[in-house]
Amino acid sequence: MKAVSGYFLFVGAGSVALACFGGVRALAAQTPTQAIVTPKPKLTVPSDAALNEARRLSEQGKFDEAIAKIEGLAEKDPEMKGLAHELAVTYYKKSDYLKAVASFKKALEEDPKDNEAVQLMGLSYYLAGRPAEAIAPLEKVQTWYPSANVDAAYILGICYIQTKYYPSARKAFAKMFAVPADSAASYLFTARMLLRQDFGLVAEEYAKKAVELDPKLPLAHALLGELYLYKSRLPEAIEQFQKELELNPGEAGVYYKLADAYSRTQKYEEAEKLLQRSIWLDATSTGPFILMVPHHLLGQAYRELGRTEEAERELKLSEQLQIRENAKP
């Protein structure tokens, strides 16, 4: 199970939990390096010096010390309300998600209306690589925030994919993008998410369904082309990219992907023309990073054609763009 870069934001009960993800690994650690902004403390907890000290330690990243403080408070006063929630949030910040789940469960026994605990318990299950258990609490979040919680819909959709509930995933993504659940667009969005999660076969099925429902849907043919290119089904990839350009001739990325397909079939002159068009389109609308790929490929194409001077020019330009991109803060 693969992940893609993104972010997850939960809003509820006057608090915010933000999980930022980057990199690629299995969902157990499906999220990449995380920087999590956790919810504010519950206002129902008495604000004594020891608890404030625990919160201060947590904010400084001294989670073990904060946990020890909270557990000490619980031993001294087992009737103190809200400590289970405080402990769960601290475990969550520490990325000890299963212990966070256990404490959130205790918090909900203490206060069944603790909506924040439900949200963070679902997210904790997700981050711990247990998507099946994340579904129930995340579905509750959707009933509370039917229109605003877009990111909850994304996480829920990913959990459905990872547990192979594909129709439910499609409905979640349709809600996320505000399109009808049975529309061509909903199938296209789901196909893209499936591909990002490395569910290629199902992604192809959903992309084909999108084209069947709306043959003129922008980027549906391009997605099929990407799938076929990845599988080295080059004639089919070329066909789909050509169909996309007939519908969407201003999409620069499709030109260089089609050029990539031509390059793999050693049709370098065709690749050169397409790469040049891609560069022309990107020059005024996108950054240098996107331009690096077509410049590099164009340089390779020129080299194969024996046009050494032009090849060196394009490869040097690609290198310069890479250096410029790496120098950005």
- In degrees rounded to 5, what are phi and psi of residue 28? -55, -35
Q: What is the pLDDT of residue 173?
A: 94
Beta strand pairing status for 35-37 and 6-12? unpaired
Q: Is 90 domain-assigned? A: yes
- Inside any domain, residue 38: yes
- Cα torsion 258, 23, 39, 99 to 10°: value is 130
The two structure tokens encoding residue 77: 């006063």
- Number of separate domains in the chain: 1
Secondary structure (3-state) at 79: coil
Structure tokens at 47: 């604000």
**Other beta carbons less than 10 A from residue 164's beta carbon:** 10
pLDDT in tens, the chain (329 residues): 433 333 344 434 334 333 333 333 333 334 433 444 455 555 444 447 888 888 889 899 999 999 999 998 888 888 888 899 999 999 999 999 999 999 999 999 999 999 999 999 999 999 999 999 999 999 998 877 655 456 778 899 999 999 999 999 999 999 889 999 999 999 999 999 999 999 999 999 999 999 999 999 999 999 999 999 999 999 999 999 999 999 999 998 899 899 889 988 888 888 888 888 888 887 654 433 454 666 777 788 778 888 888 888 878 777 765 665 566 55
Burial class of residue 230 in the structure, from the number of CB atoms within 10 Å of its CB (0-12 exposed, 13-18 middle, 19+ buried): exposed
Range of the domain at 17: 1-163
In a domain, residue 257? The reply is: no
Buried b (16+ CB within 10 A) or exposed e, 75-98: eeeeebebbbbbbbbbbbbbbbbe
184, two tokens: 């061509």
Q: What is the CATH number of the domain that holds 27?
A: 1.25.40.10
Sign for the pseudo-dihedral over CA of 74, 76, 78, 83: negative
Nearest-angstrom CA–CA distance, 234 and 60: 53
- What's this model's pTM, rounded to 2 decimal places? 0.70
Please indicate, yes or no, if residue 37 is contained in any of the structural domains: yes
Give domain status of residue 228, yes or no: no
Is 274 contained in some domain?
no
* Residues facing residue 33 across a β-bridge: none
Residue 149 lies in a domain: yes
User: Is 57 a member of any domain?
Assistant: yes
